[in-house]
Every structure is written in structure tokens, then in C-alpha cells.
Amino acid sequence: MAEIRPRDLLSEGLLARLGRTGTGDAEVARTVARDIAKLGAVGYLNVALPPEFGGLGCTLRQAACGQRRLARYAPRTAMAVSAHLYWTGAAADAYRSGDDSVRWIILEAARGALFAAGHGEPGSDLKFADPHSRCEPAGEMGYRFRTRGLLSGVTPAWDWMAVHGITGDQQPDAVLAFAGRGTRCTPAFRVARVLPAGAPSDVFTASAVTWGNSILASVQYSHARNAFNDAVVALDRRHDASAGHPLDQWPVAEASLRLDAMKAKIAEITHPWPLIPEPVPDLGGQRLIGLYTMRHEVADGAAHVHALIEAMSAARPVAAV
């Protein structure tokens, strides 16, 4: 495990300068872009890279913890850099296991390139990859993708955008490629994997699915936790001293229990994930089910917590007789 953890780079002073967005999509995008530049300046964007490439070589557990801390102060920024962290984390896993096929991702990140994920329009952030996206072979160009929203995401000013599609009918393959923009992204289209559609069958894809779902779940958990903490403070300030304490209400207790359960489910995935996964990770069967179960339970739990927060806000203390 890295001696310096990702969260150690997120000082209170730095975090206080992040996440101050105005109104309107354009202003939010500019603010997130400025935040990302500040995170890059302190090395946060390279935490998953191996030390020989200028990174911390952090574990998935450490990266998820760092994202939870970042999301407490700047949730939009945390979501925006999530894809960069899970693509670089997956590439680092593959590199350490002896697979050099995606070493270019590490090299690009080390020079300052920012990675994003396609099919990630605002409001659809829970999708790691669109299972309905289609592509077809296009000769020397690799593949042609036709799905709407292909290059939509929550990461502004990206250099490389991951795109995913299914090709073929009888024996379909899953294609994972990266589209680049800018003069430094040459070639501007790189095919990373073409594998039979189904469970991940190599280190890079297995790590990408695991890192991606875990980091996104961590950000979503932190957002729900922040909203709950703010609601508790507001409820405590306005309670009627002659009535029962508002923090004894059942929505508060249930929301707290759900948050604890969400954090524990994330830990079940992130804590045992090895720094160097097996050459052919077994993500079929129970391991893959466990990963997707965690993602679903965190999303469902967050929705319930926000509903409970509304119940807390609407509650009116009854004065004692």
C-alpha cells in the first residue's frame, strides 16, 4: 500500500478552494475544470500510477477513500475525475501483472492527459458502460460507433474518452476504445480491448469494472452522507426544546443505518482487491454478482437516504403537554 495516501494530498486548504460553483451549466463546467487543474498540480490525478511513472501506486481501497474525502467538499469535481482514476487504476493493475498493452494509458496520464468515460451524460452517471451501444468494424480505422451520447460525460476538457460498444450478432464482442482530441493525442483512436461479450476475462477489463463501480459508489455514498449531515445540523438548530429531540426521530436513525450499510458494502469490494490481481481474474459467478450487488445497494441506499432527509425536513416537533 502507498505510504502517502490519496487523501493525504487533499489538504483542508486545498479542499476549501474547491467546489465553489455558480449557477448554470457553463459556470459549473468552468469551476470543475479549475478544480481539476488544482488537483493535477498536487499530484492527485496520478495517485493510481505506479511510482516509477510518478504516481503513488495506491490501492483501490485508498483511491476510494480519497474520492470520499474529495466528494465531501466538491461532489461534482469528484464525479468528474472518477473515470480518470479508474482507467489509470485499471491500467496500473494490468501493467503490474505483466500486461503492457495499456501501458500507453499510464504514459499519457503521466504527461498530464485527462481520461473520461463516454455514455455519461449528466443524470446518467450510474452507467459504467452503455450495454446498448453498438459499433461495427471500419477497416484500418478500427471501429465506427454510432450511439448517441457517445462522447458525453461529466469530465470537462478531457484528452481521452473511453467508448464502449457491442459488435456482431451470433457471437458478439465487446469493444473498448479510447477517442483522443488535441494535437498531442496521436493516434486519435486506440482500441484497448476486443473480447467476447460477457464477464470480464482479463486484468484490465476486470479492474476497470471493479475500480469504476467502487469509485463511483464511493462518491455517491459521500454525497448522501454529506446531505444527511447537513440535514441533521439544520434539524438540531430548529428543534423545539419543549418537544422530544428531533434526532430521536426514526428517519434519522434509519438514514444513519443505511449509510453505515452502504459504506460496509463498498469495503467488501475495495478492501480485499489486490494491488496485483490474478493474470485471469475470476469475476464470474459470485464475485461479479457481489460487485453489482454493491453498486445497486449503494444507489438504492442513497435514494432512500435522500427520501428520509425529506421526511426529516418536513417533520414538525410536537410540544410536550
CATH code: domain of residue 22: 1.10.540
| pTM for the predicted model, two decimal places | 0.90
Which of 196, 222, 245 corresponds to the end of one domain? 196
DSSP type of residue 169: S
* Domain identity same for 73 and 48: yes
Considering the domain boundaries, does residue 120 fall inside one?
Answer: no
Which of 151, 180, 196 corresponds to the end of one domain? 196
- Verify cis geometry, omega within 30 degrees of 0, for the bond prior to 187: yes
| pLDDT one-digit tens code per residue, 215-244 | 999 999 999 999 999 988 887 776 655 445
| pLDDT one-digit tens code per residue, 59-96 | 999 999 999 999 999 999 999 999 999 999 999 999 99
User: Is the predicted pLDDT of residue 126 greater than 50, yes or no?
Assistant: no
* Domain identity same for 16 and 109: yes
Q: Which three cell numbers stand for residue 313?
A: 425536513
What stretches of the chain adopt beta strand conformation (E)? 115-117, 135-137, 143-145, 160-167, 173-180, 189-196
Considering the domain boundaries, does residue 123 fall inside one?
Answer: no
- For 39, the domain range is 6-113
Domain tally, the chain: 3
DSSP type of residue 132: T
